[in-house]
C-alpha cells in the first residue's frame, strides 16, 4: 500500500511522516549492515566503508515543491518528493557500487522505482554517483505502507568531490564563476581516473594474493 498520511491534524500528520520515514531509514541501515557483514563472512571483504542517512528538512521540502509549482502540503510532500528519506552509501571502489545496487535490487520486498547512473553518464557539472529510489515496507499497527527512500552509492573520492561542490553551490547560491565550475569538472575527471586506478591496483593485489595462496597453501 502506497503511504498516505492519516486524516489527522497537520501537526500529527508531520509527526507521523517523521516516524514513517525514520523507520524506513532505520530498516534500510539495518539491512545494509547485515549485507555488509554477510559479504565479509563469505568473501572476506567489506564493500561498504560507511553509511550516512538523513531526513530532508521541512524548509528544503517546501522549497522543492514550490520550484515545481506544487502547493506545499504534507500530502503533496509525500506524493511528489522522493528524497525525504535519504541514505548515502560510501564504498572504496566503483565495482562495489554496482555490487551493492544488485544486492539491494535482489531483496524481494523492496521495489526499485527508478535508477539514475551518474557514473556512466556524469552530470554536466562532473557529478558522479549512483542513485536509486526504492520503496520499503513499514509495518504499522493498523496497516503496512510502502515508503520511498533515495539511495546514493558512491566512492570515497566521489563523495569528497560532491561535498566540495555542495559547499561551492551554497557559497555562490548556484552562480559560481565559470573558472571554478571548470576546475570542478577537471577535478571530477581526476576523481574518475583515480577511482579507475585504485580499482586496477586492488584487482592486481587480490590476484597476487590468490596466486601466493595457491603456491603456498
Q: Which helix (H) or strand (E) holds 208?
A: helix 178-215
pLDDT band at 136 (very low <50, low <70, confident <90, very high): very high
The whole-angstrom separation of Cα 71 and Cα 66 is: 7
Q: Is the pLDDT reported for residue 7 higher than 80?
A: no
Q: Residue 58: which residues within 8 A CB-CB, separation 6 or more?
A: 14
Q: Is the pLDDT reported for residue 11 higher than 80?
A: no
The whole-angstrom separation of Cα 114 and Cα 106 is: 15
pLDDT band at 4 (very low <50, low <70, confident <90, very high): confident
**Which of 22, 150, 165, 204 is the catalytic position?**
150
Architecture per CATH, domain 10-158, reads as 2-Layer Sandwich (3.30)
pLDDT for res 174: 73
Q: Residue 100: which residues within 8 A CB-CB, separation 6 or more?
A: 32, 35, 47, 48, 89, 91, 153
Q: For residue 26, give the 3-state DSSP assignment.
A: helix
200, with CB counted inside 10 A (0-12, 13-18, 19+), is: exposed
Percent of the chain with pLDDT over 90: 70
Sign of torsion over alpha carbons 102, 26, 143, 114:
negative
Q: Where are the beta strands (DSSP E) in 118-158?
A: 130-139, 144-155
Strand partners, 136: 147
pLDDT band at 44 (very low <50, low <70, confident <90, very high): confident
What mean pLDDT is predicted for residues 20-41?
A: 94
Q: What is the pTM of this model?
A: 0.90
Strands laid side by side in the 130-139 sheet: 48-55, 85-91, 144-155, 130-139, 111-117
Q: Count of CB atoms within 10 A of residue 34's CB?
A: 10
Decide if 211 is catalytic.
no
Amino acid at each position: 500500500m502506497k503511504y498516505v498520511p492519516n486524516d489527522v491534524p497537520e501537526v500529527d500528520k508531520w509527526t507521523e511522516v517523521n516516524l514513517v520515514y525514520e523507520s524506513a531509514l532505520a530498516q534500510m541501515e539495518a539491512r545494509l549492515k547485515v549485507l555488509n557483514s554477510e559479504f565479509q563472512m563469505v568473501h572476506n571483504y567489506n564493500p561498504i566503508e560507511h553509511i550516512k542517512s538523513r531526513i530532508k528538512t521541512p524548509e528544503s521540502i517546501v522549497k522543492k515543491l514550490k520550484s515545481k509549482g506544487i502547493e506545499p502540503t504534507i500530502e503533496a510532500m509525500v506524493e511528489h518528493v522522493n528524497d525525504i528519506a535519504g541514505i548515502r552509501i560510501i564504498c572504496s571502489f566503483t565495482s562495489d557500487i554496482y555490487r551493492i545496487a544488485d544486492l539491494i535490487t535482489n531483496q524481494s520486498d523492496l521495489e526499485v522505482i527508478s535508477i539514475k547512473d551518474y557514473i556512466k553518464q556524469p552530470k554536466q557539472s562532473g557529478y558522479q554517483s549512483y542513485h536509486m529510489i526504492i520503496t520499503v515496507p513499514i509495518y504499522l499497527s493498523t496497516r503496512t505502507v510502502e515508503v520511498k527512500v533515495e539511495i546514493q552509492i558512491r566512492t570515497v573520492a566521489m563523495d569528497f568531490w560532491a561535498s566540495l561542490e555542495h559547499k561551492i553551490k551554497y557559497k555562490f547560491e548556484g552562480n559560481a564563476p565559470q573558472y571554478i565550475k571548470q576546475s570542478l569538472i577537471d577535478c571530477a575527471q581526476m576523481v574518475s581516473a583515480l577511482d579507475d586506478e585504485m580499482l586496477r591496483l586492488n584487482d592486481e593485489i587480490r590476484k597476487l594474493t590468490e596466486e601466493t595462496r595457491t603456491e603456498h597453501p
